[in-house]
Amino acid sequence: MNYSNNLNILWNKFKDPERVKDLVRLIKEEVEKYGKPINIMEFCGGHTHVILRNGLDELLKGYINFVHGPGCPVCVIALERLDLAIELAKIPEVILCTYGDLMRVPGSNRISLLKLRAEGYEIKPVSSALEALKLAMENPQKKVIFFAIGFETTSPHTAVLIKQAKELGVKNLWVVCNHILALVVLEYLLQSEEKPLIDAFIGPGHVSTITGSRAYEPI
């Protein structure tokens, strides 16, 4: 049996109404033993989507309170950084590259990179940081700016981009780094005086794949 089939079998088990009822009952019993509702913050927007789509918040109402967390890096990027991207894109002879997620997000003046692109500015959505390097090499007369964004998952890609650009002697590529450390965000949430009472986190899966579990131990 291959890996894909195993995942499908596991997924189908969680879609079985009787199994879901049993799991809900067990969760409620454990919460009752705990003595009060549990506040769980889901870190990613993907978690929030799954929770709401499947009605988990209603199924466990009164037992588990889901607190919506930071979401993706695009969700929490400072408005000033978006304004910077927009201003950089307006510089003559500049090709601005960034991940597609950021294209539709408006800055403080309600203008987005997507709107600027429609006006004729050279703005390229990329799926890989190395696409920016390719653009720089293909357009030596242009200034290519990679507007880097993401948690720990995409920061290694930015590092590889910088390393390869240096090795190849590419002089017309700039990187504006806007990476956010998810673990720092978690630490802030736990230490902030304004934080909601959080009993547990549903951690960022992709970030955890990169960092490993030991990164959470100091927190």
Q: Please report, for the chain, the start and end positions of each structural domain, with discontinuous segments joined by +.
A: 3-73+183-216, 78-179
Q: Global pTM?
A: 0.79
Q: Give the span between the Cα atoms of 130 and 148, in whole angstroms.
A: 11
Q: Give the span between the Cα atoms of 25 and 31, in whole angstroms.
A: 10
- HSE of 27, CA atoms in CB hemisphere, 13 A: 17
Query: How do the pLDDT tens digits run along the chain, 219 residues long?
Result: 566 677 677 677 777 888 889 999 999 999 999 999 999 999 888 888 889 988 999 999 999 999 888 877 887 788 999 999 999 999 999 999 999 989 999 998 899 999 999 999 999 999 999 999 999 999 999 999 999 998 888 999 999 999 999 999 999 999 999 998 888 888 888 887 766 688 888 888 888 888 888 888 887
138's enclosing H/E stretch is: helix 130-138
- For residue 176, what pLDDT is reported? 97
Grouping H, G, I as helix, E, B as strand and the rest as coil, residue 146 is strand
pLDDT, tens digit (0-9, with 9 covering 90-100), for 148-199:
998 888 999 999 999 999 999 999 999 999 998 888 888 888 887 766 688 8
For 3-73+183-216, CATH number? 3.40.50.11750
User: 78-179: which CATH topology?
Assistant: Rossmann fold (3.40.50)
